[in-house]
């Protein structure tokens, strides 16, 4: 297993991270390090991975909160530990020592942080969540806990790059119907003629639209599909595979 620290542009003491597969067995799509319990992996393996992660990042067992993600726009407000937050695609909290995280394998993981008031968020955005503005909805949920958009910092974890993310024209049409600009978000491959979407750019559009500042947004620039031995990638490994976990906690 391997844990990468993610850094916000404006610093702060929050611990932000993303997991890597580690020493992956190429014949096993859940190898080596998978913390997601609803994608077909053995529960014993998932539990062991989660325990190792909590130990490595220095939080109590059971203080790693994740949800069953459904490509919607629900934001779970984590105000206690030890309960099941059900289905959602983003989480926010102001509790110290409680890590919130999202699972992805090509979709876009985003972490948010207002260091002044100590409020954090984590969101998962595939094309549906991206199109529906889950990034802005997560920031709005943080603001209900006292955060302010002009102070919120964001960092993207690894996700599919625009060259790898080919989509059908019907997806592009839905993006445009939602009011997202094609400029800087939709591209056309000149060889294949196929449309491509830059999911990070589209999520950045929502962040700026809700009042966040450009200087507070950091991109990782790492593509999951281009690096399937390093990161889980649904397009490279199939949907029955592990997930990268991108998370954050206040300390
Ligand atoms: Zn790529």
Examine the pLDDT at 1 and tell me if it is beyond 90: no
Tokens found for residue 51: 């325990």
Rounded distance between C-alpha atoms, residue 242 and residue 23, angstroms: 14
Ligand 1 mean position, distance from CA 120 (Å): 28
Ligand 1 mean position, distance from CA 229 (Å): 13
Ligand 1 mean position, distance from CA 106 (Å): 9
Q: Which residues surround ligand 1, an ion (CB under 5 A)?
A: 161, 164, 223, 225-226
Ligand 1 mean position, distance from CA 136 (Å): 25
pLDDT value of position 166: 96
Q: How confident is the model at residue 26 (pLDDT cuts 50, 70, 90)?
A: confident
Tokens found for residue 172: 């592009």
Examine the pLDDT at 24 and tell me if it is beyond 90: no
Rg (CA), the chain: 17
Mean pLDDT value of segment 33-61: 96
Which residue stretches of the chain are H helix? Answer: 43-57, 127-131, 134-143, 169-177, 199-209, 234-237
pLDDT value of position 61: 85
pLDDT value of position 78: 98
Contact predicate 16/6, CB 8 Å = yes
Write out pLDDT tens, residues 69-98.
999 999 999 999 989 999 999 999 999 999
CATH 3.60.140.10 fits 2-159+216-249, yes or no: yes
Write out pLDDT tens, residues 174-233.
999 999 999 999 999 999 999 999 999 999 999 999 999 999 999 999 999 999 999 999
pLDDT value of position 133: 97
Ligand 1 mean position, distance from CA 45 (Å): 28
Ligand 1 mean position, distance from CA 38 (Å): 25
Examine the pLDDT at 49 and tell me if it is beyond 90: yes
Examine the pLDDT at 243 and tell me if it is beyond 90: yes
Q: How confident is the model at residue 153 (pLDDT cuts 50, 70, 90)?
A: very high
Ligand 1 mean position, distance from CA 107 (Å): 12
Write out pLDDT tens, residues 107-149.
999 999 999 999 999 999 999 999 999 999 999 999 999 999 9
Ligand 1 mean position, distance from CA 197 (Å): 12
Ligand 1 mean position, distance from CA 246 (Å): 18
Ligand 1 mean position, distance from CA 97 (Å): 34
Ligand 1 mean position, distance from CA 196 (Å): 11
């Amino acid at each position: 297993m391997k844990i990468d620290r993610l850094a916000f542009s404006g610093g702060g003491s929050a611990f932000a991270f993303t997991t890597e597969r580690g020493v992956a067995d190429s014949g096993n799509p859940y190898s080596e390090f998978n913390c997601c319990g609803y994608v077909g992996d053995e529960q014993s393996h998932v539990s062991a991975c989660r325990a190792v992660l909590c130990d490595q990042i220095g939080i109590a067992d059971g203080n790693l909160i994740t949800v069953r993600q459904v490509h919607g726009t629900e934001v779970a407000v984590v105000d206690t530990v030890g309960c099941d937050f059900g289905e959602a695609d983003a989480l926010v909290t102001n509790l110290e020592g409680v890590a919130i995280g999202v699972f992805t394998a090509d979709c876009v993981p985003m972490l948010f942080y207002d260091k002044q008031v100590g409020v954090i968020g984590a969101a998962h955005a595939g094309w549906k969540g991206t199109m529906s503005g889950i990034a802005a909805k997560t920031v709005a949920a943080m603001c209900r806990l006292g955060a302010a958009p002009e102070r919120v910092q964001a960092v993207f974890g690894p996700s599919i790059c625009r060259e790898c993310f080919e989509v059908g024209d019907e997806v592009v049409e839905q993006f445009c119907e939602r009011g997202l600009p094609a400029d800087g978000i939709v591209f056309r491959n000149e060889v294949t003629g196929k449309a491509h979407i830059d999911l990070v750019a589209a999520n950045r559009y929502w962040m700026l639209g809700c009042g966040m500042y450009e200087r507070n947004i950091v991109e990782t620039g790492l593509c999951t599909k281009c690096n399937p031995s390093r990161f889980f990638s649904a397009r490279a490994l199939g949907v029955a595979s592990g997930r990268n976990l991108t998370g954050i906690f206040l300390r």
